[in-house]
């Protein structure tokens, strides 16, 4: 390969210059186009977002819940840009009109066929090293939820028939069996 030819590197400016309706994420200068989510994906985003927001509001909590599309800038450079399916941010100083500057406290990604490698590998590594407290991967195809509690260096796996404990909130669990998937 010619040394003069190098892999093209993208920045957040390239994200903002995408055509209307086109979504992408940026990891270490590589652009990853995002497919339109399916109905089950969207149902899970809505149900989980509602349950989390409801829990926070009933306890007069300070955290805020943002479903995608919502920009997360994990660090100060222009080579990382994420749109997690659900972001929970407890430090309001991280919130700007553009999105979240820094690590959210809790991120949930709903796996799609096109996002599998990203959610299980690249995002897991980036989220862990950025200081996110908790990361869930909900996989409708496997009917499984992987829960990474980075604060306590713990990992648990659940099914879509289980009650899943939320690590950042004492006593909060989400009953996946109660979420209608059809």
Q: Give the tens place of pLDDT for each residue, 103-144.
A: 999 999 999 988 899 999 999 999 999 999 999 999 999 999
Give the strand pairing for 64-67 and 23-27. Answer: unpaired
Are residues 84 and 68 in contact, defined by beta-carbon separation less than 8 angstroms?
Answer: yes
pLDDT score, position 76: 76
CA 162 to chain centre: 21
pLDDT score, position 55: 97
pTM score: 0.93
pLDDT score, position 95: 97
The C-alpha atoms of residue 148 and residue 132 are separated, in whole angstroms, by: 10
Are residues 126 and 74 in contact, defined by beta-carbon separation less than 8 angstroms?
Answer: yes
């Amino acid at each position: 390969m010619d040394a003069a030819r190098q892999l093209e590197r993208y920045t957040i400016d390239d994200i903002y210059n995408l055509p209307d309706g086109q979504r992408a994420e940026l990891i270490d200068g590589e652009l990853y186009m995002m497919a339109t989510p399916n109905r089950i994906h969207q149902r899970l985003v809505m149900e989980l977002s509602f349950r989390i927001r409801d829990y926070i509001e009933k306890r007069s909590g300070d955290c805020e819940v943002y479903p995608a599309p919502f920009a997360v800038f994990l660090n100060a450079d222009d080579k990382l840009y994420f749109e997690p399916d659900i972001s929970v941010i407890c430090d309001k100083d991280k919130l700007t009109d553009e999105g979240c500057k820094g690590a959210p406290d809790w991120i949930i990604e709903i796996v799609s066929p096109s996002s599998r490698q990203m959610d299980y590998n690249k995002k897991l590594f980036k989220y862990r090293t950025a200081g996110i407290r908790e990361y869930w991967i909900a996989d409708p195809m496997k009917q499984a939820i992987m829960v990474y509690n980075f604060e306590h260096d713990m990992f648990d796996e659940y099914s879509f028939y289980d009650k899943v404990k939320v690590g950042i909130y004492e006593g909060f669990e989400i009953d996946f069996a109660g979420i209608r998937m059809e």
